Amino acid sequence: MTDSPLTTPVVFVLGPVPVTLPVVVTWGLMAAMALGSVLATRRLRVERPGRVQTVLELVVETLRRQIAETMQADATPFLPLLGTLFLYLAVANLSGLVPGLKAPTAFLETAAALALVVLLASQALGIRRRGLWAYLKGFAHPTPLLLPLNILSELTRAFSLSVRLFGNVMSGEFVIAIVLSLAGLFVPVPLMALELLLGLVQAYIFTVLAAVFIGGAVGTIEKG
């Protein structure tokens, strides 16, 4: 681990497109998650569900309930976006604990991409739910003088999302790498356990903040 944590290693170049490490790792995670979903949902039963089905239903139902409580609305339309956001962030954050892998979220591009998706999704959902004019009028609330500040607030919220996620995950991995290089094999284990917790916490925080932003955009909760 001699590379700078702020650099994004390129795995291969596809024409003009450099395919970096977080992209490749994300592909792997996507494949694993999609394949796992296909396998886990092959034999769903209404009566007497198995353990895997029970866990799946528990996860999906918990996600839906959390999103509904956060957005104060029916969570089903937002479940694919926000649920996938949480699951991907959790899996991606924890993937950094696997030897030889580096969490995609430890790169600023991945965090920025997710924050960009949340930003664009909130704008699109807000316009679709409230109408273009009503949505744009929301930026001039309570007074048109605050229009620049509100627009800036939208951008900075997305920026803070990405930087928070990137900083926490990257710093955790960086600390573990430093301690591992200095103290030996078993000393970083407590730090890795802490990183496990932090990864889940960061996934939760990112998802809840995204739900708040989207809820504010569609008008189900007060815009923060």
Partner 1 sequence: MHIDGWTILLQAVNFLILVWLLHRFLYRPVLAVIAERQAATERVRSDAEAARQAAEAASRSLEDQRATLPAERDRLIAAARAEAEAERAALLDRARTEADHALEEARARLAEERAQALGALQRHAADLGTQLATRLLRDAPARSLTRPLLEEACAAVEALDASQRHALADGAESVPVRLAAAGPLSDEDAAHARDRLTVALGRPVALELTEDPSLIAGVELHFAHSVVRRSWKQALAEAKEEMTRHDSARTDADSVA
Residue placing its CB nearer to partner 1 in the complex, 116 or 179: 116
What minimum distance in Å lies between the beta carbon of 80 and partner 1?
4
Asked if residue 19 binds partner 1 (CB under 8 A), the reply is yes
Contact 179, 193 (CB under 8 A): no
Residue in 62, 84, 156, 181 binding partner 1, rule: CB under 8 A: 84
Q: Which residues contact 25 (CB under 8 A, 6 or more apart)?
A: 92, 95, 101, 102, 103, 104
State in angstroms the smallest separation of the CB of 110 from partner 1.
Answer: 5
Nearer to partner 1, 24 or 208 (CB): 24
212 touches partner 1 (CB under 8 A): no
In whole angstroms, give the CA distance from residue 220 to residue 82: 16
Q: Which of 97, 112, 196, 198 binds partner 1 (CB under 8 A)?
A: 112
Say how many residues touch partner 1, by CB under 8 A.
Answer: 47
**Per-position x/- string for 129-158, each x denoting binding to partner 1 as judged by CB under 8 A, each - no binding:** ------------------------------
Amino acid at 155: L
Residues in contact with partner 1 by the rule CB under 8 A: 6-8, 17-20, 22-23, 26-27, 30, 33-34, 37-38, 40-41, 44-47, 49, 53, 56-57, 60-61, 76, 79-81, 83-85, 87-88, 104, 107-110, 112-114, 116-117
